[in-house]
Amino acid sequence: MTKVNIMEFFPQYNKSDEVRIIELKALINKYDNAYYIEAQPLISDREYDSLFKELKELEQKNPNLVTPDSPTQRVGSDAIKEFERIQHEKPMLSLANTYSEEEVLDFDRRVREALPNEEIKYVAELKYDGVALSLKYRNGKLDCAVTRGDGFAGDNVTENVKTIKNIPLSIADVKMNGNEIQNFEVRGEVYLTEKDFLRINQFREETGEKTYANPRNLTAGTLKLLDPKLVAQRPLKFVCYYFDSDEIKRESHFDNIKLLKQLGFPVGESVKLCNNLDEVFNFINGWESKRNELAFQIDGIVLKVDSISQQEILGTVARSPRWAIAYKYEAENAQTLLKGITLQVGRTGIITPVAELEPVFLAGSTISRATLHNADYIKERDIRIGDTVMIEKGGEVIPKVIKVVLEKRQPNSVPYSFPEVCPCDLKSPISRLEGEASYLCTHPECPWQIRRRIEHFASRNGMNIEGLGEKVVEQFVELGYLKNVADIYSLHQHSEEIKNLDRWGEKSTVNLLDAIEKSKDTSFHRVLFSLGIRFIGEGSAKILAKHFKNIDKLKSATIEELNSVYEIGNKMAESVEQFFHNEKELEIVERLRTAGVNFQLKEEELVAKDMTLSGKTFVLTGELSSMSRGEAKSKIESLGGKVTATVSKNTSYVVVGDSPGSKYDKALKLGVQILNEEQLLEIINN
């Protein structure tokens, strides 16, 4: 074969550049491993940045020498149009959960009954609270990264995963028992540290964006971003717990973990080979007391049979392995001082009491506030200012006060009396509606209600006006630009003033005004929901829009006519009737109409539709890749189906997306038919 002279094709290329690029890539990979995996930096940030800059410049000069595994390729590629669905070679199983030592003993008994007269060893690992991911390597290089999905197929998130610094893009030649390891699969969890999560949430709060409930939610959302450059801005991390390859014989899970570390992959903070159950329980109990010392969140311990051959004999049941379980820790609680009770006013005027607490560290974060729900909740538990209270926070649940520590109550404490006036500047009287637990501020100009109503109107499930978040609404209300939702469509009159505000400028102002203009074409049922009529949620707004077809027919409907609509009860009917008999609300509706907001079903919505799914009830759980759960709900309902929040024996289907929750487990127990996303789409499309 004739040898090609590369200089003829790339005159700017020279041998010294190629050698230096290879050298720089090896050095940077070495320093990345030391920093991100071993947590032992070998050089200063400035020295590292200098090497990275040199590599980048050489690659720009010699684009033909840029390889997919270069450290410079971690910054993120061009935006992805959609995620490709990829089948797993072996299913990504979900673990059965246990919550007591008795259940662990029962697991051990089942294992020993299936493996009589055999020595059983277990591997105990921390259960990182993250998002499951599969990495496939071909010829030593990262070929693709796939989410768990429904366990059988997931989304190809390779471009996003390349931005995660502690995932090797390629591995050095490694041999085991004389065999070279080049093609293999690694599985693990993508996660965020508590510190990074709090920092990102703080930034979102400052810029008026909605904050995330917990690090796992933020991690899942980040992996599903269509722009890898945005993913690269978030410090995701990866930890491995699984290795599979046809190139070597695998005998021990514990040895696989050691091999992963040898290959340069990040492995768990603590992995222990246990010879007996005493060692297992020591590991479980030890980490229960130490889990808050970790920089990341865990929700328990994973216990696995160590022998791979024994795992194969034990097999699986449903979609869980018989050879592994997850021991879940109970929700944590703590005692702290209740320093005061403040009141928050919602968009409909409902007043919610909030406990102001002596800051206490609980479940990975510092808690200084917790919900008290309503006046009855306080009264039933006799919660008083100055009490020592027990607070609890489990998973993504908002911290709540669960009880008073009575033995620590001060002798001079007095029962809490719910205030008689709204905490807003107007100090208007509050009232309690008959048969309801909550108090209400009914003043039409209550500034707190105004802010909440505008936030609700602009929210993602409402008019979806991007850029009009909580902080921006608060800013514009204080400046007098917004006094009600109709004022949103007059914001263009203040465009020059907005451009000159802090954190604003030409581009952000134009983007906001474009989003406002785009919102005018929102579907009628979402506009109706956005108006914030009390007791009218997304589902009931859809029912009313479908029945009355436009705002004028709905506006003139009597209580009897409203009551006659299926699933519209007395409270809803009365609330709708009151809303459209309120002069101020009618004025706002007319202003919105004049601005061009859509107040009727669109032509395509009026056309008779296929009702294939009539009588079928669906429950959605986990993240869907091709659409949001809200979009899936709309598609199901457009075909006559019903979407509910809870699984029961009457549920027709449970649709399982990426990282499903307890609804999936309940569906398995009840024998409800499970659909993955592809099967749902097939039903919808056919």
On the CB side of 669, how many CA atoms lie within 13 Å of its CA?
8
What residue type is assigned to position 677 of the chain? E
What CA–CA distance (Å, rounded) separates 169 from 189? 17
Query: Residue 232 is encoded by which pair of tokens?
Result: 């690269």
3-class DSSP state for residue 437?
A: coil
What CA–CA distance (Å, rounded) separates 314 from 110? 10
Residues 626-637 as b/e (b if ≥16 CB within 10 A, e otherwise) read ebeeeebbbbbb
Distance between start and end Cα atoms, the chain = 55
CB–CB of 391/422 below 8 Å? no
Query: Residue 76 is encoded by which pair of tokens?
Result: 């993120």
For tokens 């269509």, the residue is 226
What CA–CA distance (Å, rounded) separates 603 from 221? 34
Query: Residue 306 is encoded by which pair of tokens?
Result: 């160590």
Q: Which of 25, 127, 633, 663 is catalytic?
A: 127
- CA distances for 134 relative to 222, 322, 381, 626, angstroms: 16, 21, 48, 19
Residue 51: phi and psi, rounded to 5, are -65, -45
Contacts of 635 (CB under 8 A, 6+ apart): 627, 684
- Compute the residue count for the chain: 686
Dihedral (CA of 427, 433, 437, 442) sign: negative
3-class DSSP state for residue 315?
A: coil
Residue 608: phi and psi, rounded to 5, are -55, 135
What CA–CA distance (Å, rounded) separates 471 from 474? 5
What CA–CA distance (Å, rounded) separates 353 from 400? 11
For tokens 């800059």, the residue is 53
What CA–CA distance (Å, rounded) separates 566 from 266? 56
Q: 3-state secondary structure string, 65-133?
A: HCCCCCHHHHHCCCCCCCCCEEECCCCCCCCEEECCHHHHHHHHHHHHHHCCCCCCCEEEEEEECCEEE
What CA–CA distance (Å, rounded) separates 240 from 268? 7
250 phi-psi bin (left φ>0, alpha ψ -120 to 50, beta other):
beta
- Give the alpha-carbon dihedral of 553, 568, 622, 78, to 10 degrees: 10
- Give the alpha-carbon dihedral of 650, 656, 662, 667, to 10 degrees: 30
In the annotation, is 258 catalytic?
A: no
What CA–CA distance (Å, rounded) separates 246 from 153? 21
- H-run or E-run covering 597: none
For tokens 């997850």, the residue is 326
Kind of pairing, strands 617-621 and 653-656? parallel
Catalytic residues: 127
